[in-house]
């Protein structure tokens, strides 16, 4: 069956360290992958989009990688800050559908 | 200030009632979407519309209805046929109506069945 998985357990990171979140998928051939940030009780906010032919994408302290062989995307936040605490969602674009992961909650401790 | 607004923020429904969730956007986007979010699950698509006066069912359309009479408005009605409507409902829009298009989300409506 087709699945997209994000770590359901919260990720606790010390302020200043790099946070790395994982998005794994099976039985998809995604053309694009998107990452969003969602704060409690709010709608998701778009962060980055990476295409299947791109290995890496950066935006300020954010970096996304996309490995179609491993069927995995990694989302990195460098020099993490307490304000980065939120739930991060990945979404795959495949066959004209957008398939969403359940998200990983990130907690940055001062 | 462009964006998407949803109202109300909280909504309570009694058994057997129909309720309508509002979604308005001033981004001039053609495509609009309704998603449902439940704890521990990814967003699930209820309905989407790529153009005025046209809309398509998503993965979980049963018990829901929509209309798209104006470009900026895409209201969602949760009917009494929806047996488990308690959830967080998110409206979104995008310039690109294909699946790869970046989505702009509203603040959401939390619906609770009493």
Backbone dihedral angles phi then psi of residue A34, each to the nearest 5 degrees: -120, 150
Is the confidence at residue A96, as pLDDT, over 80?
Answer: no
Residue B46 in contact with residue B111, Cβ under 8 Å? no
State how far the Cα of B114 lies from the Cα of B111, in Å rounded to an integer. Answer: 10
pLDDT in tens, A1-59: 668 999 889 999 999 999 999 999 988 888 889 999 999 999 999 999 999 899 899 99
Neighbouring residues of A66: CB distance < 8 A, sequence distance ≥ 6: A33, A50, A51, A52, A54, A55, A56, A57, A73
pLDDT in tens, B42-93: 999 999 999 999 999 999 999 999 999 999 999 999 999 898 999 999 999 9
The bridge status of strand B76-78 relative to strand B19-25 is antiparallel
- Taking contacts as CB-CB distances below 8 angstroms, the residues of chain B near A89 are 42-43
State how far the Cα of B69 lies from the Cα of A61, in Å rounded to an integer. Answer: 42
- Taking contacts as CB-CB distances below 8 angstroms, the residues of chain B near A98 are 45, 99-100, 103
State how far the Cα of B37 lies from the Cα of B46, in Å rounded to an integer. Answer: 10
What residue has token string 């702009």? B104
B→A contacts (Cβ < 8 Å), by residue, are: 4, 6, 35, 40-45, 90, 92, 98-100, 102-108, 110
- Report CA-CA distances (Å) from A42 to A39, A45, A47, B28: 5, 9, 15, 22
Determine the residue of chain A that is closest to B87 in CA distance: A41
Coil/strand/helix, residue A83 = helix
Band (B1; pLDDT cuts 50, 70, 90): low
Mean pLDDT of chain B: 93
């Amino acid at each position: 069956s087709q699945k997209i998985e994000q770590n359901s357990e919260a990720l606790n990171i010390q302020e200043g360290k790099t946070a790395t979140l994982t998005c794994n998928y099976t039985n998809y051939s995604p053309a694009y992958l998107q990452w969003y940030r969602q704060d409690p009780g709010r709608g998701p906010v778009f962060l980055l989009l990476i295409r299947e032919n791109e290995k890496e994408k950066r935006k300020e302290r954010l970096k996304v990688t996309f490995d179609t062989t491993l069927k995995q995307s990694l989302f990195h936040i460098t020099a993490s800050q307490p304000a980065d605490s939120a739930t991060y969602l990945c979404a795959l674009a495949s066959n004209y559908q957008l398939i969403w992961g359940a998200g990983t909650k990130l907690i940055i401790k001062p | 200030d462009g964006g998407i607004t949803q109202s109300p923020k909280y909504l309570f429904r009694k058994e057997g009632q129909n309720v309508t969730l509002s979604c308005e956007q001033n981004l001039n986007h053609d495509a609009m979407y309704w998603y449902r979010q439940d704890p521990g699950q990814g967003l699930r698509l209820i309905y989407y519309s790529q153009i005025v006066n046209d809309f398509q069912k998503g993965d979980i359309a049963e018990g829901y209805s929509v209309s798209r009479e104006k470009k900026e408005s895409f209201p969602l009605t949760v009917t009494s046929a929806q047996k488990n409507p308690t959830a967080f409902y998110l409206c979104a829009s995008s310039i690109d109506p294909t699946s790869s298009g970046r989505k702009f989300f509203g603040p959401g409506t939390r619906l609770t069945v009493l």
